Structures are given as structure tokens and as C-alpha cells.
Structure 1
């Protein structure tokens, strides 16, 4: 979680006032069912949630009555019930991915003092829809509407790694037909399969040498509840500032931001 998010949530907690402790405690059982993602026996569910079995059972009786959980008659295992499913579906339908992403980009830029770009999949390929500037003097040609090369930029490589293969091939073919002076950032190049596999494994992409000398970028994907990539977030900065702390600070901050945003969009992290 970013420093900005922590401060904001801390301020929210101070203004919330007194809550209902039993509801807060009982939510640990629901969180355990979400985290484990499979029906659970009472003793196992209680252990994960930090309850005594008898205490957990009392909560579960109430949750069954209102449909938060259900108990399988043959196995006795508990799982989330229809009311919990309805809540989840409503949350997904009313969640605005771009609004959440907008906040994430602002917070990440404030926490890292880097420029941060929000990139979506557009008609012409990876397209910038937001740039949060850090305030530092940096000569970069990224603006809303900028289209990135699929193979010559960090953002493009992220989409190349996580989009369906046919869609990637079609986009690369269109890019190769671009007329000179098309305005697309980055030079098309051959990308070996092992590079794509590495991006998938590590969860982020970069390009060396970068499209703009002296300016480096790292990009990571954001997934929705279906496991599909919906956008990419890219951190951009001058080499002398970004590179020395890339592995220790900036890449972990980027991955934390994109993973948190993915979870907020319903994506289930499996590792």
C-alpha cells in the first residue's frame, strides 16, 4: 500500500467514529472464505480466522440465516452464500476501473516522485489515457492519446505478454504498416519468446535501450475479475534517479499498486 493511501485511510478511520465490533470480528470468517477460495470445515475456517470453533459456529449460524454463507449438507463444509455472491456482482457492476486507476496513478506518482502513465488497449494499440507528472523537469513525449509500440516500449511489451496471442500478432502487423511519422512511440523490433515468458513470470516489462535516451520506464499489468488484462501502469523517470533504486524501491511499489488495483477489480491473486 502506498504512503498516500495509508495516510488517506488513516484519516478516514479517524472520522468514522465507533463501529460494531462483533460485525468487524465476524468479517474475518468471510475474509477467510474469500482467501481460501474453497469450501471449508468449521475447525479449519475457525483456525484461519483466529476463532474458537464454538465462537465461529455462532457467527456462521447468523450468516447462514441471511445468506452470507451456506453449509453443504453432505460434507458439512461452509462456503460463501447467495447474498455474498449478489454483493460481489453488484460491486463489480458499480466499480469504475478508470476511477480506481486514476487514484492509483496519482498515489504512485506522489509516493515515488516519478511520472506515471495509465495505458489502455485502444484501436491502434497501447494508448495513454492519463499522465501524472511528478513535478520534476523531464523531457518526455508521453501525453494522453500517445500510442506506444507493442515491442519497443515497456507498456507495449506488457500488452504483448498478456493479451491473447492472435490479438498481439494482428496489432504487431498493423504497427509494421504504420507510415513514417505516425507518432507512435518506440521502434518496432523482434521480441523472442523467452522475453515474453520472462515478462509473464516477473510481472513487469522494460526496454533497454529505451525509446527516449536518458529516460527509462517500467510497466506492469492490471487484471479484472476474469483474469484479463484491462490496463497497464507505467512508471517513467530519468535514468540517474530511476535506475539506482529500481529493484529495491520503484518496481516493488509499481507491482504493489497494480496488484492492489487488480484485487479491487475482482482479480484473484493465486501466488
Structure 2
């Protein structure tokens, strides 16, 4: 008899698309609409700045994890999917479907932002696209002027840290504490706080693809960096975690033997 409580493949893919959509739509909306909103009459800034954008990424991820994580596992990021597969926590055969769902969800998010912008103030959408549409970038497209090497190293390291935290807080030995989503969301927040000035922070190829679609030729030309190196970071983290913390088939038997 089949277990009716087990999500179907379609359920999982829809959940991944929805979670990625919320992540991209909420965080990129914050970056484009609210990060630099201007100043009040007394000169007080009305924008949320880097801190607000970093919090938007963390909070939207947290919301997606608690809403749809029980259905799909709450990846919402190709680098997470690669990392979990490399760690032995996710089947490689299911990776392509998750990647497609994540990319589609992210692209729908930025497309709806464009739709909102069409009815905005004159020139808002054109200015947003001319400015890169919150895309990732290096060199002259880096917020802090950091070069290609900095972007490559940052994307590998910060993605690896992100995946290691995910694998750690969701490890079976920790049990079901219910706080994993908070830890993961706050980790993404601190990653953005640290790395937005470097390359506008990817650590998520679906996010990078979604913004580059509307970010113009330069964003598309540099996109390969923000697809390739987060995936490299995810794979390295998954393999490292598997080698250090996941038991081999012989380990449980050895532990049992020592107790006799």
C-alpha cells in the first residue's frame, strides 16, 4: 500500500519553485525598491540599505523553509541541491528536476518585479535595468570594485560555509529541534552582510540567473561565475561533510562491537 502522506515528485518540484520564488521575489524586491529609497524631509534615510537587503534574504529563506521544507526539503538553491547530493543526503537522479524548478521559480520572481516596475514612476524600470537589476558582478559591476578573483573565492567560500551549516543543523544526530530554519536563514543573512560589497552576493545560481535575465548584457556575460563557483562551493562542502561527519557502513558495527 502506498503512503499517501509522502509528497509526490510533482509536489516536491512545485514546493521548490514556490520557495525559490519567495526567496527571489522578496529579497530582490527589497534590493530594488527599498534599499535606497531616498531621504525624508529632515534628511533621514528611508532606505533599508545593505542590512535590510541581507535580512530580506534570510527572512524569505526562513519563510520558505518552514512553509515548504517539509515537502521538498527546502533547497531553493542549486548549490544546496548539489551539496546535499554530494553529502549523500539527496539522490543525484532527482537533481535535474530540482534545478529546473528552482530556476523557473526565481525567474517568475524577477518577472513579477518587472511587471510591478512597468507601472512605477517614469524611468524606474529602465534605471533598474541599466543599474544591473541587482545582478551579481565583479570589476566595475562589483559594489566595492572587487575583481574576478575576489568573486570566485568569495562564492566558493561563502557557499561552502552555507552548505556546511545546512548539513550540520539538519544532521540526523541532532534530532527534530524545529530551529534549523532559523539557523539557516540567519546564516544566509550574515553571508550577505559580509559579501554584498564584494559581488552583490550570489551563493545561489537560481538567484543569479533570475536577476541577470533583466540585468543586461554585462550581467549575462558575467553570469557564468555565479553559476559555476557556488556549485563548486556546494560540492566541496558536501564532500567535506560526508568525509568528516557521515558514518560509513562499518562504523555502526564497530560501535556496537565496542559495547559488547
**So what's the TM-score if we normalise by structure 2?**
0.25
Query: Which structure shows the higher helix fraction?
Result: 2
Structure with greater Cα Rg? 1
Query: Which structure shows the higher strand fraction?
Result: 1
If asked which structure has higher relative contact order (CA below 8 Å, sep 6+), I would say 2
**So what's the TM-score if we normalise by structure 1?**
0.25
